[in-house]
Amino acid sequence: MEDIVYTEFMQTPDRMNMRLARVEKGLSQQDLAERVGVTRQTIGLIEKGGYNPTLNLCLNIARELDKTLNDLFWEDKNHE
C-alpha cells in the first residue's frame, strides 16, 4: 500500500473533512466560530490540527455543519 503524501494544507485528513464540510455549507471560519461560540482562531487551529477541541465543541460543530462526529473527526489509520 502506498503512503499518501499530504500537502501542507492537508496535514490531517479528518480536520480536512471539517474544513470541507464548512466550505460546503458556505460558512467562513468566522461564521462557524460565531455559531458555536468560539473565536475564529480556534476554528482555524482545529482545522489545522493545532488544537484538540472538547467533545462539547465537537458536537456543536457537527450540529452546525449537519454532519456526524465520525464524518468530521474520525481518524481512519489506513486512509484508503
Residues near another protein, by CB under 8 A: 35-39, 41-42, 45, 51, 53-54, 57, 60
**Min. distance of Cβ 80 from another protein in angstroms?**
32
Based on CB atoms, which residue is closest to another protein, 30 or 39?
39
- Beta-carbon contacts of 32 under 8 Å, excluding residues fewer than 6 positions away, are 22, 43, 61, 64, 65
Based on CB atoms, which residue is closest to another protein, 26 or 37?
37
Neighbours of 74 (CB within 10 A): 11
CA atoms of 41 and 70, how far apart (whole Å): 23
Based on CB atoms, which residue is closest to another protein, 49 or 79?
49
